[in-house]
Chain A
Amino acid sequence: MSAGVGVDLEKLWIRFGDFVAVRDANVKINGGDFFSFLGPSGCGKTTILRAVSGFLEPSDGRVLIGGNDMKGIGPNKRPTALIFQNLALFPLMKVWENITFSMEIKGASAKERRKRADELLDMIALPGQGDKLPSELSGGQRQRVAIARALCAEPDVLLLDEPLSALDLKLRQHMRTELREIQQRVGITFIYITHDQGEALTMSDNIAVMRAGVIDQIGDGKTVYNDPATAFAASFVGENNVFRGKVKQVSGDTALIATNRSGELLARISTANQGKMQPGDDAMLFIRPEAFALAPAGASGDHFVTATVTNEEFEGNVFNIFMEGDGGKELKVSLPNLGQSFESHKGQPMTLQYDVQNAVALPAGELATE
């Protein structure tokens, strides 16, 4: 899938006055990839997208599309199409006029435009809706019209700015699959922006995790989830239990962490940080709620934490068990719902066993607050 046009950000800085919105971003996006920028609101995702589409000139560094420096090239000359956060459909144009606006600009006849609009409407599963106004469509339909309008311009790179954030949950999940399908069908590069880690993980070939203008990690979904490069990435992507402490001992790719409240725990050092953690450093250890196995108190195991069940929740696909460890340490454990009969352990002390491979040791750092 290297047919498409790639996008490179080289040492990209974007400042608004004294405020640095993007700090030294280096990203290589392969042609034909579905690439996501994932980060909390206000971290500079839209800013990066606007720099790629040409609405913002970088303060420093370069944006390359297909290997060509885009400096001084306006948004109407770049091979990109942007789907705006609020969609920005032209309210006074009918759906088909909206979709084929890029053709109208090039002087195509109404007949050609009509034909192309009908093809695209079929593709986005809205046949025969061309004569409506955007205001007469539902949110999901408008969403699809915006996609069709962008695709009609035949861009090499499609930029999507949180396009699903306004939709309700069910539609959002449906549109994820649909977007992914469309991307595979048209084969062009998609750059997708989201603050929803579920969206990023399900759709993307690669993900860049952003925090306050800085890109913390770039990798595919599994890497970002299983092998986070920073404490922020570990806490922002998916849920995690955090143990703070200091490195006591390092051997190869494992480290023994002396946690503040849960004793000494052994963990794997994340790939990005191997060789960088020294005994005595402040460290954080992350274990995902689903990586724990629940055992009765006193059960033996190589690696475990003890805690008391404080609350239990049934979420459909999982049982969530909230526990309190030593010194009031709060923990969450998720057990998949496999149809087993669930036995309440409320108020009972339990042993939480884990596999060292599933515990990640990282240098201490800022955590996601969401």
Chain B
Amino acid sequence: MKSFSFMRVSIWVYLAIFFAYLLGPLVIMSITAFNSPEFPRATPWECLTFEWFAALFQDERILNGIKNSILVGAGTVVLSVAMGLAGALMLTQIWPKLRATYYTIIIAPILIPGVVIGISTLVFWDRINRMVGLGADSFLSNGLFLTVIGQSTFIASYCMLVLVARLQRYDTALTEAALDLGATHAQAFRKVLLPFMKPAIASAAVLAFLASFENYNTTTFTFGEYPTLTIELAQKVRYGITPAISALAFIIVVLTVFAALFNEANIRRKDLVAAARKDATVEELESGKFRVPGFLSSNWAAVALVVMACATVVVVGTATVYSPAQCIANVQEQKRIETELRIQELRQRRAEEAARKAAEEAETAPKPQAAPSDNNSGFGGVFSPNTLTGEGEEESKAPEAEDNSNSGFGNVFAPSTLSGD
């Protein structure tokens, strides 16, 4: 009995660690999106702010990156799903002895490093471009085109794997039945096979879009004039990172959770309706008295979805009217006071020291020397050990600059440094 409960406890502990490992970074990052310091930090909590979201939506490069990513994603979804479906159909049609070989070939792009695919795409289409005799600004060397083509080479293989799994459960007699009833091959494909494949096509499309959206190593060679979001982020991080990126990440997390909940709610709803239909009598179905269960009844996913949607509306509403200016001002005021206090302390200490020195000097050589003479060196107070602890001479400017000094990196990651870019 005791060991049993120990087992249970350890399972819970394991789960807690596992989820903390999995979700912890996301939670921390989401918090930083709402904290006011200019460097993403969860602690110390200063002020609730939505300014990073505003900053995000004002950042032309990020917005442009998102737009490009969506364009590339859409193109990749279309191309990859089409190629994946063709590949999957081929696999079921092909001569059985060739099947294993064919499968290996078609899966190979997954195993090839993305970097190699990127370079080879670039080189290959450049060759084609020259062979056809087009210029450097032709369609074939367009960044969007190349990125879609490059990504699709391996994303199509993922799609094919997803589609093959569904296709294996397809009864070819269904296509034959459609043909037998007068359908053409195209009609049989569209009306029978395609509806059957729809769930798998949807999964493959989502997978393809996500794989395209997060792709970096292939895209980095092919993007040309169309940097995607990952490319933009990578370039930004090189110069410094602001909570605006946390805000973007937060939005993506929320959208993902939304999509997941929506999907779950839909599945549950379908199950519930199917169960209700099964229980319904013929008369009920016929007379139209059959009641489809309500959207929210016994469907936790739907409830969670609605709750989350409400929460989002509330948060966005709050954000539009909420202004952290007062809080920020308070924090700054407090910091200023703190700094002032410290400076005061410092001055006092210096004065004491000076007094002591003067006293010592007076004992040896009673010549009245100015205490701050050491500040006259060309380096200002930089080399004075005291400046490391406080603001020294800059005390008057302290309120504007104090944030920078709080990060270990000084100014390196502040977005203002990008202005020179």
Contact = CB atoms under 8 A, between A and B. Distances in A.
A82 B277 contact: no
Contacts of B282: 128-129
B285 A75 contact: no
A58 B387 CA distance: 98
Nearest to B184: A76
A104 interface: yes
Interface string B279-291: 0001001100000
Which of A55, A89, A105, A132 has the most chain B CB atoms inside 10 A of its CB?
A: A105
Interface string A59-95: 0000000000000001110001110101011111000
Nearest to B287: A128
A128 B248 CA distance: 54
Interface in B93-132: none
B277 A136 contact: yes
B196 A92 contact: yes
B176 A75 contact: yes
A153 interface: yes
B77 to A, nearest CB: 23
B185 to A, nearest CB: 8
A76 B277 CA distance: 34
A59 B192 CA distance: 30
Interface string B155-189: 00000000000000001011011111111100100
Given A76-B183, A76-B184, A88 B176 contact: yes
Given A128-B282, A128-B286, A76 B171 contact: no
Interface in B272-302: 277-278, 282, 285-286
B195 interface: yes
Nearest to B198: A92
A104 B180 contact: no
Contacts of B181: 76, 81, 101-102, 105, 149-150, 153
A153 B174 contact: no
A35 to B, nearest CB: 19
B37 to A, nearest CB: 55
A326 interface: no
A149 B174 CA distance: 13
Given A132-B277, A136-B277, A75 B173 contact: no
Contact of B171 (A75, A86, A129, A136): A86
Contacts of A153: 181-182
Contacts of A102: 181-182
Contacts of A55: 176, 179-180
A185 interface: no
A111 interface: no
Nearest to A153: B181
A131 B184 CA distance: 26
Contact of A104 (B176, B191, B196): B191
B180 A81 contact: yes
Contacts of A170: none
A131 B173 CA distance: 23
Give the interface size bracket for A toward B. Answer: 20 to 34
A88 B196 contact: no
A88 B174 contact: yes
Contact of A88 (B177, B184, B278): B177
Nearest to B278: A136
Nearest to A84: B173
Given A88-B171, A105-B183, A82 B177 contact: yes
B7 to A, nearest CB: 41
Nearest to A74: B179
A128 B192 CA distance: 24
Contacts of A81: 180-181
Given A92-B196, A102-B182, A84 B176 contact: yes
A306 B205 CA distance: 78
A75 B196 contact: no
B261 to A, nearest CB: 25
A76 B180 contact: yes
A131 B177 contact: no
A53 interface: yes
Contacts of B187: 105
A116 to B, nearest CB: 13
A133 B275 CA distance: 12
Nearest to A77: B182
Contacts of B177: 82, 84, 88-90
Interface in A109-132: 128-129, 131-132
Contacts of A54: 180
A276 interface: no
Given A128-B285, A129-B282, A105 B182 contact: yes
Given A105-B181, A128-B282, A128-B285, A90 B174 contact: yes
A55 B187 CA distance: 17
A174 interface: no
A242 B141 CA distance: 83
A156 B191 CA distance: 25
Contacts of B277: 132-133, 136
Contact of B192 (A84, A90, A131, A136): A90
Contacts of A92: 195-196
A50 to B, nearest CB: 9
Contacts of B183: 76, 101, 105
Nearest to A50: B176
Interface string B33-49: 00000000000000000
7 contacts: A54-B180, A74-B179, A75-B176, A75-B180, A76-B184, A92-B195, A105-B191
Given A88-B174, A88-B177, A131-B285, 18 more contacts: A53-B180, A74-B179, A75-B176, A76-B180, A80-B180, A82-B177, A84-B176, A88-B176, A89-B177, A102-B182, A104-B191, A105-B183, A105-B187, A128-B282, A131-B286, A136-B278, A153-B181, A153-B182
Interface of A: 53-55, 74-76, 80-82, 84, 86, 88-92, 101-102, 104-106, 128-129, 131-133, 136, 149-150, 153
- 10 closest Cβ contacts across the A-B interface? A88-B173, A88-B177, A102-B181, A128-B286, A75-B179, A76-B179, A82-B180, A105-B183, A105-B182, A75-B180
